[in-house]
Amino acid sequence: MRFEKGGLTLNLALAACFTALGVAIAPFLNFPFLGTRAFPGQHFVNALSGVILGPWWGALIAALIGVVRNLLGVGTVFAFPGGIPGALVVGLAYRATRRLRWRRLRYAAALLEPVGTVPIGATISLFLVAPLMGWRPLLSAMEALGPIPALLALWFGWSISSVTGSAMGYIALLILDRMGLMGKLPEPGRR
């Protein structure tokens, strides 16, 4: 099998590897929070895939990891609004900074993953997904605390997961760059 630089085959292979990585670490790197399963590994993979493959591939990978985690019983329906927006934000931020001269500064887009996960993903989860699914733990938190305190509590828990995972992803990108591997990959958007 021949991998063309930036071809569909390379993108599919990398997407499969990132999905497998996310699924493999899911049982070991998650914690319960208000009836959800916070998963720093998802945010780690979002940071890597958003920078290396771009926003749309990153979102697809997050969705695939969410599906498999749910099938294996180590995820909840909140894996989707908790993972997909973070990958999109990283990929779009990296694209927006691709003209910057310093590669390592562009990799800091990985640190923006919490912007997609926390205010966007957690808000969608609390006010849209939880009521539609009748998810008692989050609905009970809203009844007991009120909507805004419940939202802030969810933001806090998901921030722990998202900030940790995106920082690990940023460090991994710097290590891959130092090893000379990032220069061998095509830039997202030039494929």
The separation between CA 58 and the C-alpha centre of its own chain, rounded to angstroms, equals 8
Rounded to an integer, what distance in angstroms lies between the CA atom of residue 116 and that of residue 123?
A: 10
- pLDDT over 70 for what percent of the chain? 94
Rounded to an integer, what distance in angstroms lies between the CA atom of residue 111 and that of residue 107?
A: 8
Q: Residue type at 26? A: A
pLDDT tens profile 117-164: 999 998 998 899 988 888 788 888 878 888 899 889 889 989 999 999
CATH code linked to domain 8-19+35-184: 1.10.1760
Which candidate, 86, 63, 87, places its Cα nearest to that of 75?
63
pLDDT tens profile 83-92: 999 999 999 9
Domains in the chain: boundaries:
8-19+35-184
Question: Could you give the count of Cα atoms lying within 13 Å of 70 in the half-sphere of its Cβ?
Answer: 13
Query: At 6, is the pLDDT very low, low, confident or very high (cuts 50, 70, 90)?
Result: low
pLDDT tens profile 50-66: 999 999 999 999 999 99
Give the SS3 label for residue 36.
strand
pLDDT tens profile 13-40: 999 999 999 999 987 877 777 777 888 9
Is it the case that residue 12 has pLDDT exceeding 70? yes
Higher-confidence residue: 99 or 128?
128
